Every structure is written in C-alpha cells, then in structure tokens.
Amino acid sequence: MRFPYTFTDQMGRQVTLPHLPQRIVSLVPSQTELLFDLGLDDRIVGVTKFCIHPSEKVKQKTMIGGTKNFKLELIDELQPDLIIGNKEENYEEGIASLQKNYPVWMSDIYTLEDALEMIRQVGQLTGTESRAQELAQGIAAGFQKLQPMHPAIPTAYFIWRKPYMAVGNNNFIDHLLQRCGFSNIFADQPRYPEISPEQLQTAASKLILLSSEPYPFQEKYFAEFQEMCPRAVIKVVDGEMFSWYGSRLLQAPAYLQQVVQEIGQGIAH
C-alpha cells in the first residue's frame, strides 16, 4: 500500500493517512485490546481509563480520559497520527473536535460480520493485514461451531440497575444473544431501554442474564429479579464476552457455549 492512502471507515467517512501510523490513540477498550493483539505495542500512545486489557501493557500508556469525555489537551500532547474510535461508545462532539486536527477512523458495529470487517480494516490501517486476517478467520471458525439453544429461550439481558436497563434491538449484544439461541424479549425496544418491574413481569422471561459490566451485577441481586420473575433461571454472565467486539471474540465462542450448556442443564432440572 502506498501512502498517502484514503480509507473509508464504517461510518462511511473518508480518512486519509499521510503515512503508516506510528502514534495511535485508541478510544475504545475492545479495540485497544485488538491493537495490542495485532502487535502494535510500541505504536500505541494513548488509551482510555476503561481500556483494561492487556492490563500490564495499558498501564504504560497515557490515559486520555473516558470514552465519553476525552482530555483533548492530553491527546494534543501525544500528537497522534491515527485515532481509532466507535460510533456508539464515543461521543459526537469529542470526535468532531478531534477530526479537525487528526485522522479519526470510526467503527460502527451491530453484528459479528461488522466486527470481523473492523478487525480486517484496522489491520489495513496499521499495516498488520496478515495478523488481522488470522484473527478474523479464527473468530469466524469459532462461531461456526457454536451450538445455540434449541428451541430458543425467551431472555432478558440486563446491563444496569437503578434504573433497570436491558438490551433492546440493533446492537452487538442482541446479535450475540440471537446466535446463542437466547430470544431477546425486549428486541422490540430501543437499543438500551429502561425497564420497569411491571414490564419485566409482563414479558414473562424464562431466562434473565445479568451482565458483569457496565453494572457489576452479582448473585446477591438474584432475589430481586426472582421476585419479579419467580420461574426464570437467573445467571450472571461475563459482559466482555457478550459486548467486546475486538480480538476478545476469539475466546467468546467457548464461553458462550458453556453458558448455553449450563442454562440447558438448569432448565432441564
């Protein structure tokens, strides 16, 4: 590939890179982990405070704030030649401000195919195409082996408490729920709806999944959900495995398969 080179990101925007990027800022945790897995350790200069994997390596990088409140002056000090973000996880105003001064490549992810395309494109952007292709093929192969629940089970997936917030439609978590045979009872709702106890009772979910992130759900919350849905099976699940769309997807199929099996056994009893 010859530089300067113009890429089209997943939001359909043109991003021109004058040369192969040497100073990369990542604004999204799952994409930060991907960049490290592409072997770009020395070229990553800035990450967010939510970028926790790989733990030892991210600690050595400059923290540029959160995913929805960048410290623009810190980013300016880093003088990045590529910034990688995501439409849903970042905020429009901050991205617009960065775009005035830097090449900003944005992902926009709803499905596994979108995630695989993002991985391949980030490989192109950074000159790590073969490693990116290897990761994408490994992830695709893993998901091909995933055996979903059959028949599908009516499921509610909660991401927040006080107020209760669940996963609606048109997002990556909903897509992975479908792949597992977990039929999202709130799929007719907006992306992350606020849910009242009455709504949950009426929806008659047979399975309630409580995500470990962003709200740190634990087993101590089972009782309040059991009160609303006495017949539902309730389980805490690893939120990263359902929502991170970078290289962590290599680990996801085995984890999701285990969840499907455990729930199948729980319902059988």
Q: In order of start, what are the domains of the chain with their CATH numbers?
A: 5-109 (3.40.50.1980), 153-268 (3.40.50.1980)
Q: How far apart are CA 197 and CA 161, in angstroms?
A: 11
The pLDDT assigned to 268 comes to 64
Give the chain's residues under pLDDT 50.
Answer: none
pLDDT for res 269 = 60
DSSP alpha helix (H) spans, the chain: 29-37, 55-58, 72-78, 92-99, 112-126, 129-144, 172-179, 197-203, 222-228, 239-243, 252-268
Q: Tokens 């990761």: give the residue.
A: 135
CB 62 within 8 A of CB 46: yes
Structure tokens at 241: 């495995």
Q: For residue 26, how far is the Cα from the chain centroid?
A: 14
- Supply φ then ψ for residue 264, to 5 degrees: -60, -45
How many angstroms separate the CA atoms of 176 and 185, rounded?
Answer: 14
Listed in sequence order, the residues at least 6 apart from 82 whose beta carbon sits closer than 8 Å to its beta carbon are: 17, 21, 23, 24, 25, 102, 103, 105, 125, 126
What per-residue confidence (pLDDT) applies to 1? 75
Residues contacting 195, CB < 8 A, separation 6+: 156, 158, 163, 164, 165, 166, 186
